[in-house]
Amino acid sequence: MREEIAAMREAMAAMAARIDTLEAELAETEARADAASARAGEAAAAATAATAAAATVAADAAKGPTVAFKGAPEFKGEGGWRFKPHGRLQYDAGFVSVPSSTGRADGFGSEVRRARLGVSGDMPGGIGYKFEVDFAGNEVNVTDALVTYRAGASEFTVGQFNNFQSLEELTSSLNTSFIERAAFTDAFGFERRLGAAAQFKGKHMLVQAGLFTDNVNDQSNQNWGADARVVAMPDIGSAKLHLGASVHYADLEAGSAVRYRQRPLVHFTDERFVNTGTLAAQGELGFGLESALIAGPFHAAAEGFWQQVDMPAGMADPTFFGGYAEVGYFLTSGDTRGYKDGKFDRTKPKNPVDAGGMGSLQFNLRYDRLDLSDAGIVGGTQNGYYASLVWKPTDYTMLLANYGRLEYSDAVHAEANGDRNYAADVFALRAQIDF
């Protein structure tokens, strides 16, 4: 009996040992199964991620360039590609009143002041371009036609573009506060010219210089010139200050002539009451000073420019002067005048009409002087007193109303009694849209 019990105990001990062995083997098998399952899950997740990434790449490739709308579609692609069509249309109308005894034409006038279409864009490697044509006046004229290369804070430009004279001249006609620029800019022949230039732009400093020939429509000749401009544009608290100076030199080929003259405020009349007549000239030398301040709704600007003519030997060299001073104020809350890269920029209404507001409304006053008499040349003096009201319903539309009182001394057209000192009144409206 005792032997049987001992054998039974021995059998039970062996069975317990076998059970422990089986449990250990089962635990190891389950651990291996869990590890295999985890590896399979990781592999599946990696495959899913790879599939999603491939799908994203494929979707991006299928999607192509991005398109933004800034008055017109602007296309952007990978690597620095950008392309944008643009244009502007400005229609002017108004009245000019001059003393009837001068015999000069006055009354109602109108014109399509500018009708431009163009394209601009960028290419990989810092290359940019712009080409624009104006169709106003039943003519086709190339305005901007240029290629740029940007390297950090420096930019190099080749082609036809504005040379570096005057804050007023370099500010786009879309962003001026009056229907026409200051009298001296047109009188002294500021315009786009073919050339090559470089500029350096820092946060508060701008330096520009270039060599130029003539406008593409005036080729070919041997005229050449050089222009340079320096601008300091510091921030004073929330205000922007602009201080600038420029120099202009032109060497004219033998037998050349210049003529300085100007219309009374508006372009749609061909009458000029200040005019030097044709002057034999070997060259020009000009100096300009600029200043401006933008502080919230208020802005002020003033410029002066002195143009000296290099006359033939034995003749005195006259120096003519032009300049202006203006102030402006937004009557609508939150609006301010735009400024960028050393010139006035687009005003963007805080509350445009498409968002339920009334747009921006700005009132401006200006004194504008042009003196074309010196060294025995009597071209006359024009003193203009101007007021304007500028309404911008949206970023890309504008209605502008101008009144001007122009007082003349030594005008080139005399009244019937011989008097050359008199005044003219001008009222004009502009409707403008751009994209």
Q: How far is CA 181 from the centre of its chain?
A: 16
Q: Which two tokens stand for residue 200?
A: 């350096």
Cα dihedral angle (405, 409, 412, 416), rounded to 10 degrees? 90
pLDDT at 65: 84
Query: What average pLDDT score do residues 70-92 get?
Result: 93
Cβ atoms < 10 Å from Cβ of 250: 25
- pLDDT digit string (tens) for 388-399? 999 999 999 999
Average pLDDT, the chain: 91
pTM (two decimals): 0.85
Write out the E strands in 152-204: 154-162, 192-201
Share of residues in the chain with pLDDT > 90 (%): 81
Q: Which of 183, 154, 149, 153 is nearest to 166 (CA)?
A: 183
> Which of 61-65, 208-212, 409-413 bottoms out in mean pLDDT, i.e. has the lowest?
61-65
The CATH homologous superfamily of the domain defined by 80-434: Porin (2.40.160.10)
Rama region for 138: left / alpha / beta (φ>0; ψ in -120 to 50; rest)? left
- Compute the radius of gyration of the chain from its Cα atoms: 36
pLDDT at 58: 46
Whose tokens are 């039970």? That residue is 12
pLDDT at 282: 97
Give the list of residues 6+ apart from residue 425 with CB closer than 8 angstroms, or none: 96, 97, 403, 404, 405, 406
Cβ atoms < 10 Å from Cβ of 203: 8
Query: What average pLDDT score do residues 185-214 get?
Result: 97
Q: Which two tokens stand for residue 47?
A: 């495959």
> Which of 26-30, 39-43, 342-346 bottoms out in mean pLDDT, i.e. has the lowest?
39-43
pLDDT at 331: 98
Give the list of residues 6+ apart from residue 160 with CB closer than 8 angstroms, or none: 142, 143, 144, 145, 146, 192, 193, 194, 195, 215, 216
Q: Which of 297, 328, 324 is nearest to 177 (CA)?
A: 328
Distances 38 to 27, 31, 41, 48, 434 between C-alpha atoms, Å? 16, 11, 5, 15, 62
Q: What is the spatial distance between Cα 47 and Cα 41, in angstroms, rounded to a whole number?
A: 10
- pLDDT digit string (tens) for 346-403? 999 999 999 999 999 999 999 999 999 999 999 999 999 999 999 999 999 999 999 9
CB 161 within 8 A of CB 128: no
What are the two backbone dihedrals, phi and then psi, of residue 371, each rounded to the nearest 5 degrees?
Answer: -120, 110
Whose tokens are 């219309």? That residue is 263
Q: With H, G, I as helix, E, B as strand and everything else as coil, classify residue 417.
A: coil
Single-letter amino acid code for the residue at 317:
D
Q: What is the spatial distance between Cα 271 and Cα 97, in angstroms, rounded to a whole number?
A: 11
- pLDDT digit string (tens) for 210-256? 999 999 988 889 999 999 999 999 999 999 999 999 999 999 999 99
In which band, very low, low, confident or very high, does the pLDDT at 94 lie, cut at 50, 70 and 90?
A: very high
Question: Which has the higher per-residue pLDDT, 218 or 166?
Answer: 166
Distances 265 to 116, 330, 389, 426 between C-alpha atoms, Å? 22, 23, 15, 7
Q: What is the DSSP letter of 185?
A: H
